[in-house]
Amino acid sequence: MKKSFYAILALLFVVLVGVYYYAVYPPVNIHEPALWGTLLMICLIPAIFFAIRSLRGITGNYVIHLSDIRGLPVAAKVFFAMAAVVAACYFVGSIAGSTLLRARTYASLLPVKEYDFSRDIEETGQVTDIALMDTASARKFGNRKIGSLSDVVSQFEVEEDYTQISIQGHPMKVSGLKYASFFKWWNNKDKGIPGYVKVNPVNSEAEYVALEQGMKYVPSGYFNFNLQRHVQLKYPTKIISGYHFEIDDDGKPFYICPTMKPRVGLFGGMDVNGVIICNPVDGTCSYYPVNKIPAWVDCVYDGKLLTKKYDWFGTFSGGFWNSIIGQKGCKITTDDFGYKIIGDDVWAYTGVTSVNGDQSNIGFVLMNQRTSEAKYYKVSGAEEHSAMESAEGAVQEKGYKASFPSLINVSGQPTYIMVLKDSAGLVKMYAMVNVEQYNIVATAVSQSEVFSKYRKMLASDGDVKTDEESLIKKTVTVKSVQFIDTEDGTMVYIKDMEGGVYKQAFKENESLIRISEGDSLTIYYEQITEDIDEIHPIRKFEFSRE
């Protein structure tokens, strides 16, 4: 009877461990701290059970004395000893990977090379390679797009996370859909999720892409259709750090799951050592080490991991005690980052400031999200949030909020560019702020105009005239009018009889629709250069019909 009792308890314990593993699916890897916590519980539960039963038999109650412990059964002592070994291994492994003992090793995890900003970063005349829109705005555009599709919005929602990727050298934010509830998963699990959302962060356009076959293995799925569980059970020994939704060059959806390993001690300095690519349609998975990852994959090293690695480099290069006491040469990244497309790769960009936390940057760092290559540019000037405040202050009467800026090269000058959003998250204006002289601030409703105003400010050292005397006035006869869709929205191009060309964004002045061939106009425009072929930005115009 006693043997049967213990056999049943042992079987029940094994079942409970199995249920726990299926529900939590921790990596079976000695470098995963959660595994050691699980092993500790597996050892302590039977140890405590045997100890309580034994002490109950010795004392007749549950009051335990020190002398009673000597009479513990062998099983209890063995399990207690195993628990002690597990705890000791965890403690020693943690100490071995501490920054106190291995500071310089942490600092070496991200090799950083210094580059010259004006030489390495090409001059920019129009932003097509920077994600000016932040994720919060992308969510709103994506939700609005799905909201217009009644057959989709009733069953699905857009995932909160958007992945920044590169499509033919242009930035794009993508996100999969998710089931709205358990019952909606149950009703649609055989067909799967029907599509995904793309948001262009440059021109603020959202697109829903319908799939021929639905995605069944997704983060919002349940049981074996849950993406994380599905991938972890296929690779039980891999330490998987989240997942990123991406599409390949043909628009096919995949989930990119980076795998991690410690590079300092048993647990410290966790870094990417490969990725698992999961096809959410049929659930097939493939593992690739970091040196063999397909070129279309953009997000291998998450921006948060890259900034953490740079902080290790900036803080611990002088040793642990220097990071605490002297802090000589210690620097850290600012509290956010943006994205820039270089070639076909996505680079995370952020400012670098001293650990004292003043309101200025001492440089900037670009970090490749596919290869983890890091480039440092020694450019001192305004910290990003100071630049954002300057841009907001320039249009304070409108109450717009600035997005996190990106860094570009304009006429050899490091320059912040950002968008200004209204309370609904819609992009209303563009802003450019000089990094070194952040009192030079240009704002406009289109990219072309803000570049024009900013260059003029640079030419006049920030002393910009805003009255009509700074504009050129000319009366012309219209030869043709063209409305052309650009990344800034619809632009109106007016050509006169003498071959001069003038332009203005349609959203700046909708009365442009009234202009016809043969009209006589008095145009007030900016002259940026002396080039006779220059296309002049219109500030205002008047009809001068006789």
In which band, very low, low, confident or very high, does the pLDDT at 276 lie, cut at 50, 70 and 90? very high
Give CA–CA dist 535/501, Å, rounded. Answer: 5
Cα(194)–Cα(216) distance, integer angstroms:
9
Contacts of 104 (CB under 8 A, 6+ apart): 316, 317, 319
Average pLDDT score over residue span 132-137: 81
Q: What does the alpha-carbon distance between residue 380 and residue 313 come to, in Å, rounded to a whole number?
A: 19
Does the pLDDT at position 293 exceed 60? yes
Q: CA-to-CA distance for 131 and 124, rounded, in angstroms?
A: 14
Tell me the average pLDDT across 369-378: 95
57, pLDDT greater than 70: no
- Stretch 31-36: mean pLDDT, rounded? 93
Q: What are phi and psi of 346, to 5 degrees?
A: -100, 125
The residue that leads in pLDDT, 1 or 41, is 41
What is the pLDDT at residue 533?
A: 66
For 398, phi then psi, to 5°, come to -90, -20
pTM of the model: 0.81
Residue given tokens 């002289």 in the structure block: 437
Mean pLDDT score, 187-192: 94
Residue at token pair 């005239």: 465
Predicted local confidence at residue 59, as pLDDT: 45
CA torsion sign, 473 to 475 to 476 to 477? positive
Q: Can you give the three-state secondary structure of 388-435, one letter per residue?
A: HHHHHHHCHHHCCEECCCEEEEECCEEEEEEEEECCCCCEEEEEEEEC
Which range (78-82, 88-92, 203-207, 208-212) has the least confidence?
A: 203-207
- pLDDT band of residue 58 (cuts 50, 70, 90) is very low
Distance CA 465, CA 469 (A): 8
Q: What is the mean pLDDT of residues 338-343?
A: 87
Q: Can you say whether the dihedral through the CA atoms of 432, 434, 162, 129 is positive or negative?
A: positive
CA proximity to 478, closest of 508, 501, 507:
501
For residue 61, pLDDT beyond 60: no
**Three-class DSSP category at 299:** coil
Indicate if the pLDDT at residue 463 is higher than 50. Answer: no
Under DSSP, is residue 37 helix (H, G, I), strand (E, B) or coil? helix
Question: pLDDT value at position 470?
Answer: 58
d(CA 487, CA 427) in angstroms, rounded, equals 13
Mean pLDDT confidence for 120-140: 80
Res. 86: pLDDT tops 80: yes
Q: Looking at residue 464, what is its pLDDT?
A: 45
C-alpha dihedral sign at 121, 125, 130, 134: positive
Residue 357 in this model has a pLDDT that exceeds 80: no
Q: How far apart are CA 134 and CA 166, in angstroms?
A: 15
Burial 315-348 (b: 16+ CB within 10 A, else e): bbbbebebbeeeeeebbbbbebbbbbbbebbbbb
Kindly report the length of the chain: 546
Q: Which amino acid makes up residue 201?
A: P
Poorest-confidence range of 31-35, 300-304, 447-451?
447-451
pLDDT in tens, 223-233: 999 999 999 99
Mean pLDDT, rounded, of the chain: 88
* Cross-strand partners of 277: 256, 286
If one compares 62 and 80, the residue with the highest pLDDT of the two is 80
Of 352, 248, 258, nearest to 294 by C-alpha is: 248
Which residue shows structure tokens 């916590």?
Answer: 37
Q: How far is it, in rounded angstroms, from Cα 427 to Cα 25? A: 42
**What pLDDT, on a 0 to 100 scale, did the predictor assign at position 234?**
97
Q: Read off the pLDDT of residues 491-530 as tens digits, 9 standing for 90 and up.
A: 899 999 988 899 888 877 888 999 999 899 999 886 655 5
Check residue 534 and give its pLDDT: 73
Mean per-residue pLDDT, 366-374: 96
Residue 504: which of 469, 471, 462, 457 has the closest Cα? 471
Helix extents (H) in 60-173 = 74-96, 99-107, 117-120, 135-147, 150-153
The helix/strand/coil state of 461 is: coil
- Residue 532: band (very low, low, confident or very high) from pLDDT cuts 50, 70, 90: low
Average pLDDT, integer, range 446-468: 71
Compute the distance between CA of residue 90 and CA of residue 31 in angstroms, rounded to an integer: 10
